[in-house]
């Protein structure tokens, strides 16, 4: 009897080991595939930028005067997939990715790659509530991956020293190159029934509404950056999961300082 039970336990252990090995292998294959795709996208982005510079340097002054303000690498990716509307980078971090936008389908790129195929990493994507042309606040979501990829680096902004070393966000859009200055970092739970709805503020009704929102953000900030935003400043909000609380989010907010 004991031998029979031991055999069952051994068989179950072997099956569990096999299933675990299968899923682990599948995860590693998926991760390798995602890494290869990101490298491919970055190559398209950077190679097109270099080609654009060569064309500008080789053309006459008239050609340079009418050259597009839009990053040539972004234009190349936009032609590859029209949902690609930006490229975001924070120097000194791994955040260096395309930004997707499909307002017709909520969270479409949450678990899809650049070409719409399944991906655990997903893509960075602009909230479907935003309008890239008219919103006062652009909200970009991304996963907090255990590998440190996507928006995992945002968690480090809970430390003011990290903020001081990485205060700026570069965002290339279909309108041109933009630079944003971070002014607040906060953590908040969502899906509680009594959330701070940072994820719904995309356009202020008036100056008072804008001011009320900024005050609410600054009130929740982990530390004082000494910087704020005033009505008329365009905002950029980066959001990802934060694991010190149930359904937590870490949110990094910035204002546009140049284009």
* pLDDT above 90: residue 105: yes
- Please give the Cα distance from 4 to 27 (Å, whole number): 35
Q: What is the pLDDT of residue 57?
A: 47
Model confidence pLDDT, tens digit, residues 3-57? 565 555 655 555 555 444 434 455 556 778 889 999 999 999 998 766 555 444 4
Is residue 181 a part of any domain in this protein? yes
Is residue 225 a part of any domain in this protein? yes
Q: What is the pLDDT of residue 8?
A: 56
Band of residue 104 on the pLDDT scale cut at 50, 70, 90 = very high
For residue 252, give the nearest of 190, 160, 131 by alpha carbon: 160
* pLDDT above 80: residue 233: yes
User: In sequence order, which ranges of 129-201 are alpha helices (DSSP H)?
Assistant: 160-165
What percent of the chain stands above pLDDT 90?
75
Is residue 13 a part of any domain in this protein? no
Is residue 156 a part of any domain in this protein? yes
Q: Tally Cβ neighbours within 10 Å of residue 227.
A: 14
For residue 225, give the nearest of 194, 253, 191, 183 by alpha carbon: 183
| Domains identified in the chain, total number | 1
Lowest-pLDDT range of 41-55, 116-130, 145-159: 41-55
- Please give the Cα distance from 101 to 108 (Å, whole number): 9
Is residue 10 a part of any domain in this protein? no
Is residue 21 a part of any domain in this protein? no
Is residue 2 a part of any domain in this protein? no
Question: Which comes out higher in pLDDT, residue 52 or 182?
Answer: 182
* pLDDT above 90: residue 119: yes
Range of the domain at 214: 30-258
CA distances from 203 to 32, 209, 219, 238, 255 (A): 39, 9, 20, 16, 14
Tell me what percent of the chain is helix, strand and coil, each rounded to the nearest 5: 40, 25, 35
Q: What is the pLDDT of residue 11?
A: 55
* pLDDT above 60: residue 106: yes
Is residue 146 a part of any domain in this protein? yes
List the CATH number of the domain containing 84. Answer: 2.40.260.10
Q: Tally Cβ neighbours within 10 Å of residue 108.
A: 18
């Amino acid at each position: 009897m004991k031998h029979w039970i031991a055999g069952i336990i051994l068989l179950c252990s072997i099956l569990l080991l096999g299933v675990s090995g299968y899923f682990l292998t599948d995860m590693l294959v998926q991760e390798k595939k995602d890494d290869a795709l990101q490298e491919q996208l970055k190559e398209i982005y950077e190679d097109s930028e270099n080609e654009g510079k060569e064309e500008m340097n080789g053309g006459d002054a008239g050609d340079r005067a009418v050259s597009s303000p839009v990053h040539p690498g972004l234009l190349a990716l936009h032609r590859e997939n029209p949902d690609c509307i930006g490229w975001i980078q924070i120097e000194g971090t791994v955040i260096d990715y395309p930004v997707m936008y499909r307002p017709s389908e909520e969270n479409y790129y949450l678990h899809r790659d650049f070409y719409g195929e399944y991906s655990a990493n997903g893509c960075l994507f602009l909230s479907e509530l935003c309008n890239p042309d008219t919103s006062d606040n652009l909200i970009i979501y991304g996963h907090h991956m255990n590998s440190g990829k996507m928006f995992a680096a945002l968690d480090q902004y809970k430390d003011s020293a990290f903020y001081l070393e990485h205060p700026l966000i570069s965002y290339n859009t279909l309108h041109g190159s933009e630079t944003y200055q971070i002014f607040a970092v906060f953590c908040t739970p969502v899906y509680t029934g009594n959330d701070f709805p940072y994820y719904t503020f995309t356009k202020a009704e008036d100056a008072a509404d804008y001011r009320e929102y900024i005050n609410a953000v600054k009130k929740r900030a982990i530390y004082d950056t000494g910087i704020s935003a005033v009505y008329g400043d365009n905002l950029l909000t980066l959001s990802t999961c934060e694991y010190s609380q149930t359904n937590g989010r870490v949110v990094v907010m910035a204002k546009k300082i140049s284009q």
